[in-house]
Structure 1
């Protein structure tokens, strides 16, 4: 199983799609997201499918600001148990440290952090929002949903836009500039190295009226006990190694080559993967599946090249694998993702 995201990220999706004249259930089926997964905020869905669906809905229903609209329908509570720890923090710095430490509870492919100002301004810092592109491809709509929600959460916690200097986005504008100005209320810069909210450094010391050390301690203890960091799992480490290795050689990565990169004996790696209920072949299959979905739905690469990038010796092997993953041919998967 590849990286997931809490189904709460689709809160407001169904009514918005219906408002736009679309069929939310049809889109969920198309991207192999079970409707039952969205019946509870705690459900988990494949983040690549989630993001590709948002981009497709925005394109096909002519709604370039889909991500921003979804952000309006959501709030900090989509983070589940993490939200309580954030809301009970004493300061902005404390809340950000908590969110940074446990963001994997919402999705292990997403992270937030505090970094130097990308423009180099004195007294300004960047509150960054990143997606690990080794885990899942970049999605403009999902990025606008994430940074839009990050922005709204910051306003709620701080009680206004005081201290916010600008918003940075890596992609080009999806909507007219006026839409961004209305939503964020500050300058928005596109083509930035990383998505971020640029704020005055002094805001890190701002205190929250709802601070409660006891609630925060209990919330953090609950998170630490029930949500172990997935980065410590050897299967996650193997997934990252395999994602980086695909396309670098003609042959698929082997158990021995992966073990060597992780400084483990092959038998040790095999045993530790078995303890986590998986195997090298299973993780490789997941990585290939996610990469194939990305290549087929977001690029026009020839099928032979896609097969080579995935480490398949023949194009027919790609076809067999895609039929097993999606119940359709590679060309059918590509066609289904095209605008209608």
Structure 2
């Protein structure tokens, strides 16, 4: 028999979520960094009670937002990086124990990848094995979540600590990749990972030697592994059409992936989603949107996010947002906010 889980409020089970264990020790860490945890959680919309139950689900959007809010309020731009660096694998709850109880490091990573969709939805975790190298990729793919730098840095820190549990605390990956622009205090990233760190990459990744996959895990326990994996499967919920699986979120994700190559193209999005142009436009219309409106709103959200990165030159933003000329970006920004990008950055 399995123990009956505690009853949780309906608000604690959003369609696109992450298990609360991913925020283990967050309140204390915020206090240690000089922040007001109640205020930060409140502004992000997170219920503090949910953090006390490691198998409850938090909204992934609110989870990402709480770290962005904490970085701003504590004036620690590397908040997520530091949180991830001190995060122990067992703090991840069932997902962490699945890694710790596996036979080898390779088994640990493969098992964690296999169970990750239960731990966190709307996201990618993938282990690529190519020749003598491996790459562990992580990416929040929920189309509505733009501000996710802190989450990326803390997540790679968590996965690094899982690998160091098998390889020793002095182990370091060969390279670390982040998809966001290079922050001001990027040298701290190199120190935390003890490796070269590259920014503006296709996704967030740890690159390391494939031979390390054979390293035995110190706490391997096949019986406990089976029990934890079975318990975690009981948490799996049927996928819901709304929220992260909605057509709007899927199109937003495709639009962002195309912006680096120029103007997003409806036909390319349709091809990626295996839909006809007519079907895609009809389904967007059901939500009161057009493809052009979605491109415009996606650019607007990204423009605000990029301008909040103080070290990112404004001259770079036009290309990042898929505009062929800086003047086109400036005109669009004035239409959105009534001021120039430079004026907006100065006032924020």
TM range (shorter): 0.5 to 0.7
Q: What secondary structure sits across from 1:235 in the alignment?
A: coil
Structure 1's 135 and 217: CA in aligned 2 closer, same or farther, altered over 3 A?
farther
133, 136, 141: which is aligned to 1:132? 141
C-alpha distance in structure 2 between counterparts of 1:132 and 1:146, whole Å: 14
- Residue 233 of structure 1: which of 212, 230, 239 is its match? 239
How well do the aligned residues superpose, as a CA RMSD in angstroms?
Answer: 4.0
What CA distance in whole angstroms lies between the structure 1 residues aligned with 2:275 and 2:243? 8
Supply the distance in 1 between the matched residues of 2:70 and 2:301 (Cα, whole angstroms): 13
Matches within 5 A, 1:18-57: 18-57=31-70
Q: Distance in 2 between matches of 1:299 and 1:163?
A: 34
Call closer, same or farther: CA 1:339–1:162 in 2, change over 3 Å. Answer: same
Specify which of 77, 102, 107 is matched with residue 64 of structure 1: 77
> Normalized against structure 2, the TM-score is what?
0.65
Structure 2 distance, partners of 1:238, 1:66, is 26
Closer/same/farther in 2, CA of residues 181 and 16 from structure 1, 3 Å limit:
same
**Are positions 1:243 and 2:283 aligned together?**
no
Structure 2: how far apart are the matches of 1:177 and 1:238?
Answer: 31
Q: 1:284 to 1:2 in 2, by over 3 A?
A: farther
Which residue number corresponds to residue 189 of structure 2? 180
Distance apart, 1:168 and its partner CA: 1.1
Distance 1:237 1:130 in 2: 17
Cα distance in 1 for residues equivalent to 2:62 and 2:15: 10
2:115 to 93, 96, 102: 102
* Distance 1:68-1:218 versus aligned 2 partners, 3 A rule: same
Determine if the alignment matches structure 1 residue 112 to structure 2 residue 125: yes
- Structure 1, gaps ≥5 residues long: 249-260, 264-279, 286-292, 302-337
Pair 202,38 (structure 1): closer, same or farther in 2 beyond 3 Å: same
Report what 1:11 is aligned to.
24
2:166 alignment partner in structure 1: 157
State how far apart, in whole Å, the 2-side matches of 1:208 and 1:222 are. 21
* TM score, norm. by length of structure 1: 0.66
Alignment partners' CA distance in 2, 1:20 and 1:188: 24
Summarize the alignment of residues 260-299 of structure 1 with structure 2, pairs less than 5 Å apart. Answer: none
Contact 1:127/1:196 (<8 A) preserved: yes
Q: Deviations over 1:294-334 (max 9, x none)?
A: 99976559xxxxxxxxxxxxxxxxxxxxxxxxxxxxxxxxx
- Preserved contact between residue 86 and residue 98 of structure 1 (Cα < 8 Å): yes
Please list every run of 5 or more consecutive structure 2 residues that lacks an aligned counterpart in the other structure: 1-13, 255-273, 277-282, 289-296, 306-345
Verify: 1:89 aligned to 2:97, yes or no: no
- Shift in alpha-carbon separation, 1:2–1:113, aligned structure 2, 3 A: same
CA distance 1:295–1:24, change in 2 (3 Å): farther
Deviation at residue 150 of structure 1 after TM alignment: 1.0
Instruction: State the number of aligned residues.
Output: 269
Q: Secondary structure at the match of 1:77?
A: helix
